[in-house]
A and B are shown apart, each in its own frame.
Chain A
């Protein structure tokens, strides 16, 4: 626990992961287009991956587990981006808009 330098202690990585998560949540609340919300979701994915990698580096007994998990997170994020962008393009074709204020047909 007496590591001399700050990059050898887990605290700052965990705080940075919490920061990325909070920024992603702020973006999800405040963004008014679908692509902006997608970008905020990517930030949340990155926060989760950074948290996994930190706990893997400093606490886990087997260091390959976290790396493989982060690889899976990246693969799932790539699949999610492909699907979400195709849905966004389909929505834009139907409504001529991707602003979340105007996509309110189900609200009556």
Chain B
């Protein structure tokens, strides 16, 4: 593929860093007590996901992931944190019940992880295309062409959904405000 013999191992190391970023971001997002830290964890996780999209042959989606998630979603959540009460409250339950519920949640999530991972590894997928398909099919031009021909109806619908969401967010957030 390339002249440099160790490039595959170098890429594997970068891949490991990307996966570690994603996993660490997900853990920070779920486990930290300050909400602002978990927003930062979500941003970290999304940066890792952008790297994964890059490894999955789609730099356009990597760019969109950073632009939409880190640039829009996380900033919007930070504004929501500023306008409301940010921190996780102390638990009012007894410590014993707290431990039971925590253990139950861990158990449920481990069961979900085990089940989904086992299902996705053991099901007979069709022959995998490890080498990838021809390069022009992955380009931004192909994506744009498909968006405006085959998928033009969902494309228009999602613009409508976004417009309605903006208007609905304005209406809902405005309605409680007192006139003063």
Residue ranges of A at the interface with B (Cβ–Cβ < 8 Å): 1-27, 29-33, 35-36, 38-40, 42-43, 46, 49-51, 53-54, 56-59, 62-65, 67-68, 70-72, 74-83, 85-90, 92-94, 96-99, 101
Contacts and interface: CB of A to CB of B under 8 A. Distances in A.
Given A83-B165, A99-B89, A4 B8 contact: yes
Contact of A67 (B26, B52, B60): B60
Contacts of B19: 12, 16
A5 B68 contact: no
Contacts of B45: 20, 43, 46
27 contacts: A7-B15, A9-B128, A10-B125, A10-B128, A15-B120, A16-B22, A17-B116, A18-B113, A18-B120, A20-B26, A26-B105, A29-B109, A30-B101, A30-B102, A33-B35, A35-B81, A36-B38, A63-B57, A67-B58, A72-B154, A81-B73, A85-B77, A86-B169, A89-B80, A93-B177, A99-B89, A101-B92
Contact of A39 (B42, B53, B142): B42
Nearest to B126: A59
Interface residues of B, number: 90
Contact of A11 (B22, B72, B101, B121): B121
- Closest CB pairs A-B (n = 8): A22-B113, A79-B165, A3-B130, A86-B173, A26-B109, A86-B169, A18-B116, A27-B30
B3 interface: no
Interface of B: 8, 11-12, 15, 19, 22-23, 26-27, 29-30, 35, 38-39, 42, 45-46, 49, 52-53, 55-58, 60-61, 64-65, 68-69, 72-73, 76-77, 79-81, 83-89, 91-92, 101-102, 104-106, 108-110, 112-113, 116-117, 120-121, 125-133, 137-138, 142-143, 146-147, 151, 154, 158, 161-162, 165-166, 168-170, 172-173, 175-177
A67 B117 CA distance: 23
